[in-house]
Each structure stands twice: as structure tokens, then as C-alpha cells.
């Protein structure tokens, strides 16, 4: 299928001449529910009891594995929301200039809507995850295709995702650019305005969805974490001043065993974002356990402790409305897959998530459940 040019309507959106009135999305009903605690508590039900939407990234290809049925059951039992892990990324949707591939995303949305699970759409614009063919375009053409991609995806799925990660990972201090902005074809095409532009387009094409600016690496207590927090906060303030229609800030929170943390300091940063009147979504929580002891019991306890410390600190912040894990079971984690690739014959594999390779709850599950039980209601 070829992309049709809709330059006029996009232009209307960008100049503010759009006829669509931007409205904040209504929260999915899970966010408003108050459930009594039951013996059969799940992470999803414990969150819902406090007004917190709990979900996880979901990868369609996992449902085709021998354990696919148990994978699906786990999500249906434990979760109240899904994030598309790969299906909506530009390399999947636009593998080449002339192809639009919506089949995997269609399947994800169909699975979610069949079971009443609200979807977080991930992600529309990401300078670090660009199909090869975009990289060979002129900056003008790359900018055109950024706009066209937002329009094409949102025309297809309008009203079906309750939230979109509109722009992912705008900061990358190692690129050494002004504002510590991440380099890439969309920054090259529009400068910093690629971000506000993406949000305006997203608001125009999916006016009811919550629009999220998602960032990584803001959690650690080292210099890199500090650079990310300062640069990201400055960027968010500039975007707010320019009236970019951002509803929520997404913080990925891929925690790492080898890194220093100071969660009160991280929470002060979250509060600074919340004061600007944004909801906060924890979007990709997991724990890289590679620096923890080899012994499995000790390792699992350390992972659980990091989840507990992090969530006990951050969940009391009222602006935190969404908690999303990056997958749920260890062997479906991106950390597991990359470990298999890097160390094909290793005996030990990463155990970053609340469920093991048999979909059984681990100490991390109990630590997360305790933090959910202890948090104040929204």
C-alpha cells in the first residue's frame, strides 16, 4: 500500500487551523475503579484498587511460541493494560518506502479489545529507531515521512489506544548537541520543533488519546542520570511554554543492578514534572540483574529489593497514574533475548521480571504487590 499525501490536513493541524478541538482523554475505567482486596489479588487488581493502571508490554510474536497460551493467560489474569512492544514501531510498520505493515499491530489491538484491555501505543517518533530507508533520505523527505507516519498510524488506530508514546527518548547527552537533544533524521529535519510538531499532529489525528513524551535513563544517581534529568526537565518546560499538547510524561525506568540509585532524588525530579501539571506514566519497568550474585535465590531477592525500594518511593506521588512493566516473564524480556545473542552458551540467563520462565510468581511479584498494597489511593 502506498501512503496517500494528506499535506493539507497536516498543515491545518500544525498551524492551529484544525477544526478538531483538542480534549484530554478520559481515563480508562480501571483508573477510576476502587476494588476491595481479595485472596486472588493480581498486580492489576491491586493497582486498580488504588486507582493505578497496571500493565506490561506485550509482544504478538510471543503468542506464537509453544508457551503462547500461557503467555496470553498471564496477561489476562495479571494486567489491566498492554503496551505494544514492537508492533507499532516504525521499522515494523514501514519496513520500506512502499510498504505499510499493520498486521502485527492489528492483532495486538484485536487481542486487547477482545479482552477489554486499554492499549498504550508505542511509539510514533523515535530518532534512535528509524528504518534504514529513512536514513538515506534528504532531511526534507525525512521530515515529510515523520509527519506522514504519524498521520497514517493514527488514521488507522484513532480512538483505539488510550495513550500514545508520541516521541520516545528525545535526550541523548552523548550526541553532544544543544539541549542534549538526541540526534536523528527528525531533529535534522525540524530542529527541536520536531517534538512539538509531533504532538500537534498526534492531537489532531487522535484527539481523545493521552499524548505522552517518553524518556529513558532519568533514574540513576550518577552523572548521566543527572544530565538526563536536567536536560529533560528543561526540554519539558520549553515544550510547555510553547503550548505543545502533552498530557503525560513517560519515564521508562529500566533499572540496573550495577548502577547507583537515590530514589528520593529521583522522586524530587518526578515531583518537578508533576508540578507542571503532567500525569506521570512509569512505562518500561524492569531490573537488569547482571551485576547481582550468581546464586539464583540471592539474585531474585536483590531484584525484588530494587523493585520494592523504587516503587515504595515513587508510587506515593499522586501524579503517577500508570505503571507498566517491560514484559512480565523473564524469558520474554528484551534483556533475555539480547543475552542469548551475546552469550549463546551461558548457563545463567537474566531474571529481570516478576514471573519466571514457567510463568510462576517470583519474590519480585511479592515486593511489587506489597508496594501496591501500601500506596495511598489516587
> For binding to ligand XIL (CB under 6 A), which residues are involved?
85-86, 168, 216, 252, 284, 334
Q: In whole angstroms, give the CA distance from residue 228 to residue 223.
A: 9
The nearest distance, CB 250 to ligand XIL, in angstroms, is 9
DSSP state letters, 238-293: HHHHTT----EEEE--EEETTS-B-HHHHHHHHHHHHHTT-EEEEEEEEEE-TTS-
Cis? peptide before 123, omega within 30° of 0: yes
Contact (CB, 8 A) for 323 and 315: yes
Which of 364, 168, 198 is CA-nearest to residue 284? 168
Cα 136 to Cα 96, 188, 360, distances in angstroms: 11, 13, 46
Q: In whole angstroms, give the CA distance from residue 136 to residue 124.
A: 19
How much of the chain is in helix, strand and coil states, percent to nearest 5?
45, 15, 40
Residues pairing with 220 in the sheet = 261
Name which of 180 and 252 has its Cβ closer to ligand XIL: 252
Cell matching residue 10: 497536516
Number of residues that this document lists for the chain: 378
The nearest distance, CB 336 to ligand XIL, in angstroms, is 10
Amino acid at each position: 500500500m502506498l501512503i496517500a499525501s494528506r499535506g493539507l490536513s497536516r498543515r491545518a493541524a500544525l498551524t492551529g487551523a484544525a477544526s478538531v478541538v483538542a480534549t484530554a482523554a478520559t481515563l480508562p475505567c480501571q483508573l477510576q475503579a476502587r476494588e476491595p482486596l481479595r485472596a486472588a489479588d493480581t498486580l492489576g487488581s491491586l493497582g486498580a484498587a488504588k486507582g493505578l493502571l497496571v500493565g506490561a508490554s506485550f509482544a504478538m510474536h510471543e503468542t506464537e511460541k509453544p508457551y503462547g497460551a500461557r503467555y496470553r493467560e498471564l496477561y489476562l489474569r495479571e494486567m489491566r493494560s498492554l503496551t505494544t512492544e514492537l508492533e507499532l514501531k516504525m521499522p515494523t510498520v514501514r519496513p520500506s518506502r512502499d510498504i505499510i505493515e499493520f498486521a502485527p499491530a492489528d492483532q495486538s489491538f484485536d487481542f486487547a479489545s477482545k479482552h477489554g484491555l486499554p492499549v498504550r501505543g508505542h511509539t510514533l517518533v523515535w530518532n534512535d529507531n528509524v528504518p534504514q530507508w529513512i536514513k538515506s533520505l534528504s532531511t526534507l523527505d525525512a521530515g515529510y515521512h515523520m509527519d506522514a507516519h504519524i498521520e497514517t498510524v493514527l488514521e488507522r488506530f484513532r480512538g483505539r489506544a488510550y495513550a500514545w508514546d508520541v516521541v520516545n527518548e528525545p535526550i541523548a547527552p552523548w550526541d553532544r548537541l544543544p539541549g542534549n537533544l538526541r540526534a536523528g533524521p527528525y531533529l535534522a529535519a525540524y530542529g527541536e520543533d520536531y517534538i512539538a510538531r509531533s504532538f500537534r499532529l498526534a492531537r489532531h489525528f487522535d484527539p481523545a488519546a493521552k499524548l505522552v513524551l517518553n524518556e529513558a535513563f532519568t533514574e540513576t544517581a550518577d552523572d548521566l542520570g543527572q544530565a538526563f534529568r536536567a536536560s529533560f526537565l528543561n526540554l519539558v518546560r520549553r515544550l510547555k511554554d510553547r503550548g505543545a499538547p502533552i498530557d503525560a510524561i513517560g519515564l521508562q525506568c529500566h533499572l540496573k543492578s550495577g548502577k547507583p540509585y537515590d530514589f528520593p532524588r529521583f522522586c524530587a525530579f518526578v515531583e518537578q514534572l508533576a508540578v507542571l501539571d503532567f500525569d506521570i506514566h512509569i512505562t518500561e519497568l524492569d531490573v537488569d540483574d547482571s551485576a547481582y550474585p550468581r546464586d539464583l535465590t540471592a539474585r531474585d531477592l536483590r531484584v525484588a529489593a530494587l523493585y520494592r525500594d523504587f516503587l515504595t518511593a515513587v508510587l506515593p506521588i499522586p501524579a503517577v497514574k500508570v505503571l507498566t512493566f517491560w514484559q512480565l516473564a523473564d524469558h520474554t524480556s528484551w534483556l533475555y533475548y539480547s543475552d542469548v545473542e551475546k552469550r549463546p552458551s551461558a548457563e545463567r540467563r537474566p531474571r529481570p521480571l516478576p514471573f519466571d520462565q514457567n510463568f510462576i510468581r517470583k519474590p519480585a511479584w511479592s515486593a511489587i504487590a506489597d508496594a501496591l498494597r501500601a500506596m495511598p489511593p489516587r
